[in-house]
Amino acid sequence: MSQKETFIGAIDQGTTSTRFIIYDQSFQVIGSHQTEFTQIFPHAGWIEHDPMEILESVRVCMSKAIDKTTADGYNLDSGLKAIGVTNQRETTVVWSKSTGLPLYNAIVWMDVRTSSICRRLEEQLPGGRKHFVETSGLPISTYFSAVKLLWLLENVDAVKQAVESGDALFGTIDTWLIWNLTGGSEIGLYVTDVSNASRTMLMNIQTLDWDKPTLETLGIPFEILPKIVSNSEIIGNITNRWPAAGVPIAGCLGDQHAAMVGQACRKGEAKSTYGTGAFILLNTGEEIIKSTHGLLSTVAYKLGPNAPTNYALEGSIAIAGAAVQWLRDSLGIIKTAPEIEDLAKAVDNSGGVYFVPAFNGLFAPWWRDDARGVLVGITRFTNRSHIARAVLESICFQAKDVLDSMHKDSKEAVSGDVEFLLRVDGGASANNLLMQIQADLLGSPVARPIDIETTALGAAYAAGLAVGVWTEEEIFAAEKLQGKATIFHPKLHEDQRKKRVDSWCIAVTRSFDLADLSL
């Protein structure tokens, strides 16, 4: 098989945009297309997506990327060997099996409408917030798909009726996409993968099956749940209603798990992806480490039906790049997201200003859904540059909170004679100032690869592995990543670092108990 005629595609369906990227056998991008889609905010704290618009965004991206690549002289008709899917996790869709139409908008992962359901479950169940941690690795939180499904069952008549009549299908975005790509209401394949399933609160992370006691406790019928598959196997072929008809879907991972594969993270290695939110995962190998410091235990990846399962500790940060979008779209302080770097560079520090972006509460390690955003330390000296810098610093402070917790939970995995190195990726990691601030606040180096879109790359790796384009050894070859990365070394003195972290922690406490419970 010639390299010139061997290509792998990746559908990267994110929180604010969709991409389709095509790679050659040397892992190089030969074509891509990206498009944003609508963010729907019906009420304060509610965030929805139109599942049909998401489908159309995938269709457009696939079509345009394939057209561009073909126009550049590449033969995709026979050369495109497989497609991988990666997606925003936890975002929940329920649709009709018979019509193929969604029964309600998708409820997005950061939506907090389920706060009252979470409080009710915590009060009713033994162990409260930690009731499902033993089986799922996850605390009861608005973050996860199960409580979003409960809200739909309790508040949307169409969903309740479809479940009762046997016409409802539930899924995260990967399931919705694959079902449609493989034939929809006629012959669509109804599957999810172990990484996405591990984020629902319904899967037992030891057995990798839906947990029947959990389903019984929550009153969720087993029949509306998809089959769970590994991250790297041939799932089914794309139908002729879509671009790339006949090409197999051969990889599927939640976005953060895909980035773990794209960054070639083995046991003891951690990565941080800076997108709409920021997500830090530490590969703990085949061992499930239970956090005592506010982190999640989750599946990292399982690269084949018979491959070992790698697990991870995860710290999820709801608002990272979304805070920059807020400066742009809501406050008008910047016109484009990249402008924030030059604006923040205009000052040497934030002038004592701290920004806590708890727009919809705080995730790890705080887990406060009653928190709301605060900007503290403002004086007459404060200008827009200080605020811009405080926004960037807020992303890095949150990442440090998570990594400190990881060090405490898994000292063996992240300590020793070798200096800890954080691998970074995602759109916001292109900001050099952000990465330098991150290194300064961590007190350890940060490595950014040449290709920062490692989420799509990880999905492509998984798909290529399943169809024999690459071996696992090739995917995890260290030399592929090292030597090409940009390394940011810390420059901040330890005393300064400690003072700033202490001030940040005070600012975080100021965000607590601010949720308007009347909304």
In a 10 Å sphere around its CB, with 0-12 CB exposed, 13-18 middle and 19+ buried, how is residue 326 labelled? middle
Mean pLDDT along residues 311-338: 91
The rounded Cα 164 to chain-centroid distance in angstroms is 32
pLDDT tens-digit series, residues 145-179: 999 999 999 999 999 999 999 999 999 999 999 99
pLDDT tens-digit series, residues 406-438: 888 876 544 444 457 899 988 889 999 999 999
pLDDT of residue 59: 97
pLDDT of residue 417: 43
**Mean pLDDT (the chain, rounded):** 91
Two structure tokens written together for 422: 């954080």
The closest of 263, 260, 307, 255 to 281, measured between CA atoms, is: 260
pLDDT tens-digit series, residues 103-155: 999 999 989 999 999 999 999 999 998 999 999 999 999 989 999 999 999 99
pLDDT of residue 519: 44
Rounded to 5 degrees, what are φ and ψ at 486? -90, 125
Higher pLDDT, 319 or 51: 51
Sheet-wide strand order for 48-49: 48-49, 106-107, 92-96, 168-172
pLDDT of residue 416: 46
Q: How many CB atoms lie within 10 A of CB 167?
A: 16
Higher pLDDT, 374 or 277: 374
pLDDT of residue 147: 97
pLDDT of residue 261: 93
Domains 3-255 and 321-400+495-510 share a fold: yes
The rounded Cα 15 to chain-centroid distance in angstroms is 8
Decide if pLDDT at 222 tops 90. yes
Instruction: Say how far apart CA 201 and CA 253 lie, in whole Å.
Output: 17
pLDDT tens-digit series, residues 228-249: 999 999 999 999 999 999 999 9
Decide if pLDDT at 35 tops 50. yes
Domain boundaries, the chain: 3-255, 321-400+495-510
Decide if pLDDT at 13 tops 80. yes
Mean pLDDT along residues 277-281: 90
Q: Give the chain's count of helices (H) and strands (E).
A: 20, 23
pLDDT of residue 407: 85
Amino acid identity, position 116: S
pLDDT of residue 219: 95
pLDDT of residue 4: 58
pLDDT of residue 450: 85
CATH assignment of 3-255, given 3.20.20.70, 3.30.420.40, 3.40.50.300, 3.40.50.720? Answer: 3.30.420.40
CATH assignment of 321-400+495-510, given 3.30.420.40, 3.30.70.270, 3.30.2310.20, 3.30.300.30? Answer: 3.30.420.40
pLDDT tens-digit series, residues 502-519: 999 999 999 998 887 444
